[in-house]
């Protein structure tokens, strides 16, 4: 699958949407655990919708279990991602229903364009790992209603809980006295409030990593970090920047380390996901099962969104299925997937390697084997050696928000 | 009719005089301006006496090279002039064919550029000059052509001989930048030093002042927009082709926090000889928030000479550019192929000889040797992370210009490259200028 840098139009949109970011980006106090006074100061600048959004985001009473909020899986204490190392988070009425995909960080999502196909057919943009939500507002719907997440039985269920919330009066004051009379509208406003909170709270996009300061000429990378950046950028070595751009965008916008494209990496099947006990179950990303509109695009089966690499070092699990729990292993997988597949995939009884075992055999040809560093065969040297892998991981550590001088 | 002939002769002999011929007179610039003003008067009289419609053929210029100000050289009998004697249209264009000798599949033909010039004189001392250009035949969202305003400035002559200009104008640098019509230079393609090192056609927006010291000296100075280093793309090879060409602003929403000063001095105190030089300097970071090279300064200096004794046309040019304070910025580019060079430079020697001149034709074979390096040095980087500097590329070009009438040129040449031999090529071209 080819990857495109976002078109100028996309970049323009990006810059347009980042207008709000420039006013708040780079705040020195927007680290992982801002002081209460700082948080209060930040909240003071919110729009009424965003103020509500923050309350909704942290409100466990909006879940069937009464124990789960957005912040449970997207904790501000860990780059708005999970704090545990579960491959998939647990939800449902009793908090014991496993999900299907690893929870992503919610940081740096604000500039994601809506899902679309580029002129050359490359799929780009969208929210969720399969891009099926067009906006953050739309993305906010599913967690309220999914059986393995907050598990409300309906929108009316959610709205009823909203009406009992301590901020119900504020909700009415913001969206109209009669807002709760119309379930769909009230639910939609809650989604909107969440979107505004994510857009307006600088903690979702602080741009204060060591790398940001380095780009600004205000910090120096260590030799190992700098070597890692070189490997990251080098098209013949890591080639990471091909999908995770490290350079400023048009107009000088800070790099997001994603080009919003999709890739099929052939990540190993993760047997820690309960659903995989069914041998017939496959998560095919763009072409299903969660996403249904591209079900007939079998060429896209197995492709998942290229995530931002900002805060990647804070992740406890990696890839859409949480198959990896160690960043060094992730980099090793990239460079040895094709030179030493036996390291990552089960070996069949006949000694052959069951490569790309998280895809149906008919779809394994969709996996990206063309680009560096995948373009290798057993017996060839990996694109990076162990020392280079260590350097690259050192560099990835500079992408963590809240760098303290 | 007599006046028509006089005006046409004036136009041809002075305003359409070639640069080489212009160099023969010490107070040339001043005289040209005087003659231009006189010509405007003659044209006005002509317009009042338009009893005859037939156009008198313009006498042929004696030289093969281009008028210094082609816009001022439109024939007096041209219909456009007749319609508006204060407004003169000009134009130039070229179509080139390149044939790499080691890669026939790379052969390419391109309408390099088509340019329309409009000059309007408000009075004897005040004019506006504009040039509209299309490159590569088609400019659209799905095509690779460009459409650009190459110049648009107003100029005013003051009583003390000074000339001030404001707008978008060509920088007074080298031999080619201000006289870049295809009839003005030898060879199908513009030389490398004055494209890769000096980003011809280099224009900036701002104000300029020109004058003379006497004794054949003319000077130019000005305050203009400069370069925008925040545009540098280390992943593209554009910066390797022409460092300054990759970051010039061309008067388009140009960042202007940092401006550029320039100064040029030329001497024409000996018949047929031009010696000159220029310096340009300005910062290029524009105080951009969180940009690692706000102290970067771009400086370009060059020296040039041209000597035209008899049938010979000899020229030489040296140019040197620097971009300072790029260490921190280049650190952010490690692993990418094109960091910002700290220096780039080049020089060339060129000799042409008018071998044969007929009634309507003139044949001038030429030879040019160039040496240039777009990445002569880089600011230091930690061991193992830097990009090796490139060696000087050396290019030898031999060929000929065939002038037809006065404004059409047919060109052919062969270029041999010392470093990248895959670029060796044969070029053919046709161009015009009026």
CA angle A80, A83, A86 (to 5 degrees): 120
Q: DSSP letters along B28-85, please?
A: HHHHHHHHHHHHHHHHHHHHHTTT--PPPPPPPPSSSS-BSSGGGG--TT-HHHHH-T
Mean pLDDT, rounded, for A155-174: 96
Residues above pLDDT 90, as percent of chain B: 74
**Tens of pLDDT, residues B2-12:** 444 433 433 33
What does pLDDT average to over chain B?
86
Contacts of B339 in chain A (CB under 8 A): none
For A262-288, write each residue's pLDDT tens digit: 999 999 999 999 999 999 999 999 999
The shortest CB-CB distance from B332 to any of A214, A234, A237 is to A214
Mean pLDDT throughout A380-402? 98
List the beta bridge partners of residue A127.
A133
For B362-419, the pLDDT digits (tens) are 999 999 999 999 999 999 988 778 888 999 999 999 999 999 998 999 999 999 999 9
Lowest mean pLDDT among A2-6, A112-116, B64-68, B312-316: B64-68
- What string of DSSP letters covers B1-19? -HHHHHHHHHIIIIIT-BH
Q: Is B382 on the interface with A (CB under 8 A)?
A: yes
- Which of B228, B292, B334 to substitute to test the interface with A, most A CBs within 10 Å? B334
DSSP three-state, residue B393:
strand
B333 contact A CB<8A: yes
Q: How many angstroms separate the CA atoms of B29 and B215, rounded? A: 12
Rounded to whole angstroms, the Cα distance separating A16 from A26 reads: 18
- Supply the mean pLDDT for chain A: 90
- Per-residue pLDDT tens for B52-80? 433 333 333 333 333 333 333 333 333 34
- Rounded to whole angstroms, the Cα distance separating B149 from B203 reads 10
Q: Indicate the pLDDT class of residue A168, thresholds 50, 70 and 90.
A: very high
- pTM reported for the whole predicted model: 0.76
Q: What share of chain B is helix, strand, coil (3-state, %, to 5)?
A: 15, 45, 40
**Across the interface, do A216 and B291 touch by the CB < 8 Å criterion?**
yes
pLDDT of residue A107: 97
Which residues of chain A make contact with B329, given a CB cutoff of 8 A?
A: 217
Q: How confident is the model at residue B33 (pLDDT cuts 50, 70, 90)?
A: low
> A229: which chain B residues are within 8 Å (Cβ-Cβ)?
332, 334-335
Nearest to A258 by CA among A11, A12, A75: A11
Tens of pLDDT, residues A205-239? 999 999 999 999 999 999 999 999 999 999 999 99
Nearest to B426 by CA among B106, B132, B149: B106
What's the Cα-to-Cα distance from B355 to each of A244, A385, B350, B362, rounded to whole Å?
60, 64, 16, 8
* Partner A contacted by B336 (CB < 8 A): yes
- d(C-alpha A395, C-alpha A384), whole Å: 14
Q: Read off the pLDDT of residues A106-147 as tens digits, 9 standing for 90 and up.
A: 999 988 999 999 999 999 999 999 999 999 999 999 999 999
pLDDT band at B34 (very low <50, low <70, confident <90, very high): low
Q: Are the beta carbons of B334 and B385 closer than 8 angstroms?
A: yes
CA A35 → CA A77, A78, A403, distances in Å?
A: 12, 15, 15
DSSP summary character for residue A347: B
Alpha carbons within 13 A on the beta-carbon side of B79: 0
Q: Nearest CA to A286 among A300, A298, A267?
A: A300
Q: What is the DSSP string of A14-50?
A: HHHHTHHHHHHTT-TT-SSS--HHHHHHHHHTS-HHH
Does the pLDDT of residue B18 top 60, yes or no?
A: no
pLDDT in tens, B179-212: 999 999 999 999 999 999 999 999 999 999 999 9
* pLDDT for the residue B44: 53
Which residue of chain B is at minimal alpha-carbon distance from A8? B141
Output B298 or B34, whichever has higher pLDDT: B298
B384–A contact, CB cutoff 8 A: yes
Distance CA A206, CA B134 (A): 44
Strand, helix or coil at B203? strand
- Mean pLDDT across B231-235: 92
As a whole number of angstroms, the distance between CA B300 and CA B278 comes to 8
Q: What is the pLDDT of residue A405?
A: 75
Beta-strand pair B273-283/A116-117: unpaired
Is pLDDT at B239 greater than 70 in this prediction? Answer: yes
Could you tell me which residues come within 8 angstroms of residue B324 by beta carbon, excluding any fewer than 6 positions away?
B295, B296, B297, B299, B342
Mean pLDDT of A35-47: 72
Q: What is the pLDDT of residue B38?
A: 60
Cβ–Cβ below 8 Å for B288 and A252:
yes
- As a whole-number percent, the residues of chain B with pLDDT over 70 amount to 80
> Measured between beta carbons, which residues in chain A are less than 8 angstroms from residue B332?
214-215, 229, 247
CA distance B389 to B397: 25
Are the CB atoms for A238 and A390 separated by under 8 Å?
Answer: no
Q: B293 — contact with chain A (CB < 8 Å)? A: yes
Q: Which pLDDT score, from 0 to 100, does residue A18 have?
A: 38
pLDDT tier at A333, thresholds 50, 70, 90: very high
Residue B223's Cα: distance from chain center in Å?
A: 19
Q: What's the confidence (pLDDT) of residue B57?
A: 36
Contact B291 A229 (CB under 8 A): no
Q: Which residues of A touch B (CB under 8 A)?
A: 26, 212, 214-218, 220-221, 223, 226-227, 229-235, 237-238, 241, 247-248, 252, 254
Mutate to test the interface with A, among B253, B335, B383, B385 (most CBs of A within 10 A): B335
Whole-Å CA distances, B235 to A233, B332, B333: 9, 12, 8
Asked if residue A55 lies in contact with residue A174, where contact means CB atoms within 8 angstroms, the answer is: no
Q: What is the pLDDT of residues B95-110, one digit of tens each?
A: 999 999 999 899 999 9
Partners of residue B288 in chain A, C-beta under 8 Å: 252
Burial B56-69 (b: 16+ CB within 10 A, else e): eebeebebbbbbbb
A-B Cβ pairs (cutoff 8 Å, strict)? 64
Tell me the C-alpha to C-alpha distance, in Å, between residue B312 and each of A19, B25, B66, B69, B308: 61, 17, 15, 22, 5
How far is it, in rounded angstroms, from Cα B235 to Cα B237? 7
């Amino acid at each position: 699958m080819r990857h495109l840098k976002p078109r100028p139009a996309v970049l323009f949109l990006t810059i347009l949407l980042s207008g709000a970011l420039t006013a708040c980006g780079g705040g020195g106090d927007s680290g992982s655990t801002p002081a209460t006074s700082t948080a209060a100061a930040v909240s003071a600048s919110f729009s009424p919708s965003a103020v509500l959004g923050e309350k909704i985001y942290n409100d466990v009473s909006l879940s069937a279990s009464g124990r789960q909020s957005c912040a449970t899986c997207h904790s501000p204490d860990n780059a708005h991602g999970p704090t545990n190392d579960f491959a998939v988070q647990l939800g449902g009425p009793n908090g014991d229903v496993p999900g299907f995909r690893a929870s992503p960080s919610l940081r740096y999502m604000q500039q994601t364009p809506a899902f679309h196909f580029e002129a050359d057919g490359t799929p780009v943009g969208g929210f969720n790992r399969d891009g099926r939500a067009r906006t953050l507002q739309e993305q906010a719907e599913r967690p309220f209603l999914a059986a393995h997440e907050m598990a409300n039985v309906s929108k009316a269920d959610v709205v009823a809980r909203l009406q009992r919330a301590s901020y119900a009066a504020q909700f009415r004051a913001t969206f109209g006295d009669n807002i709760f009379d119309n379930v769909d509208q009230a639910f939609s406003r809650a989604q909107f409030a969440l979107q505004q909170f994510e857009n307006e709270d600088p903690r979702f996009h602080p741009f204060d990593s060591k790398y940001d300061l380095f780009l600004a000429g205000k910090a120096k990378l260590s030799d190992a970090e700098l070597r890692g950046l070189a490997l990251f950028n080098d098209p013949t070595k890591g080639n990471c920047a091909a999908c995770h751009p490290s350079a400023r965008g048009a107009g000088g916008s800070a790099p997001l380390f994603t080009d919003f494209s999709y890739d099929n990496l052939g990540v190993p099947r993760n047997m820690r996901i309960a659903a995989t006990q069914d041998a017939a179950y496959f998560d095919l990303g763009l072409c299903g099962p969660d996403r249904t509109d591209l079900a007939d695009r079998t060429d896209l089966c197995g492709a998942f969104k290229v995530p931002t690499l900002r805060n990647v070092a804070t992740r406890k699990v990696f890839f859409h299925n949480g198959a990896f729990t160690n960043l060094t292993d992730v980099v090793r997988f990239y460079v040895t997937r094709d030179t030493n597949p036996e390291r990552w995939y089960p070996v069949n009884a006949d000694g052959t390697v069951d490569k790309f075992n998280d895809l149906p055999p008919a779809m394994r040809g969709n996996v990206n084997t063309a680009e560096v560093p995948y373009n290798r065969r057993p017996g060839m040297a990996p694109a990076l050696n162990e020392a280079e892998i260590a350097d690259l991981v050192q560099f990835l550590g500079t992408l963590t928000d809240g760098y303290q001088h | 009719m007599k006046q028509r002939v006089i005006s046409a002769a004036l136009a041809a002999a002075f305003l359409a005089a070639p640069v080489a011929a212009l160099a023969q007179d010490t107070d040339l610039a001043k005289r040209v301006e005087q003659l231009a003003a006189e010509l405007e008067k003659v044209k006005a009289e002509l317009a009042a006496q338009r009893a005859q419609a037939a156009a008198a053929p313009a006498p042929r210029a004696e030289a093969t090279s281009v008028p210094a100000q082609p816009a001022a050289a439109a024939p007096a009998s041209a219909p456009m002039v007749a319609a508006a004697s204060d407004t003169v249209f000009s134009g130039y264009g070229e179509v080139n064919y390149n044939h790499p000798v080691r890669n026939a599949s790379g052969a390419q033909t391109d309408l390099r550029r088509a340019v329309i010039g409009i000059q309007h004189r408000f009075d004897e001392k005040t004019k506006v000059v504009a040039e509209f250009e299309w490159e590569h035949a088609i400019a659209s969202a799905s095509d690779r052509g460009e459409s650009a305003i190459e110049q648009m400035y107003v100029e005013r002559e003051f009583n003390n001989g000074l000339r001030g200009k404001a707008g978008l104008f060509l920088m007074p640098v080298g031999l080619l930048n201000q006289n870049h019509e295809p009839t003005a230079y030898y060879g199908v393609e513009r030389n490398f030093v004055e494209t890769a090192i000096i980003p011809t056609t280099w224009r900036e927006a701002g104000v300029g002042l020109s004058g003379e010291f006497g004794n054949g000296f003319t000077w130019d100075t000005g305050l203009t927009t400069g370069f925008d280093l925040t545009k540098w793309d280390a992943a593209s090879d554009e910066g390797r082709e022409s460092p300054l060409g990759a970051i010039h602003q061309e008067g388009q929403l140009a960042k202007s926090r940092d401006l550029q000063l320039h100064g040029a001095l030329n001497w024409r105190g000996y018949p047929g000889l031009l010696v000159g030089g220029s310096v340009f300097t300005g910062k290029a970071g524009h105080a951009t928030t969180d940009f690692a090279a706000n102290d970067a300064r771009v400086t370009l200096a060059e020296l040039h000479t041209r000597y035209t004794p008899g049938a010979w046309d000899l020229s030489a040019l040296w140019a040197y550019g620097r971009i300072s304070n790029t260490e921190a910025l280049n650190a952010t580019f490690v692993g990418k192929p094109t960091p910002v060079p700290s220096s780039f430079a080049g020089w060339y020697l060129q000799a042409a000889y008018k071998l044969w001149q007929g009634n309507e034709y003139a044949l001038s074979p030429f030879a040019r040797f160039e040496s240039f390096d777009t990445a002569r040095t880089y600011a230091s980087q930690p061991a193992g992370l830097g990009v090796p500097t490139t060696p000087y590329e050396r290019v030898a070009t031999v060929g000929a210009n065939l002038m037809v009438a006065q404004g059409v040129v047919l060109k052919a040449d062969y270029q041999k490259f010392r470093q990248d031999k895959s670029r060796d090529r044969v070029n053919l071209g046709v161009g015009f200028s009026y």
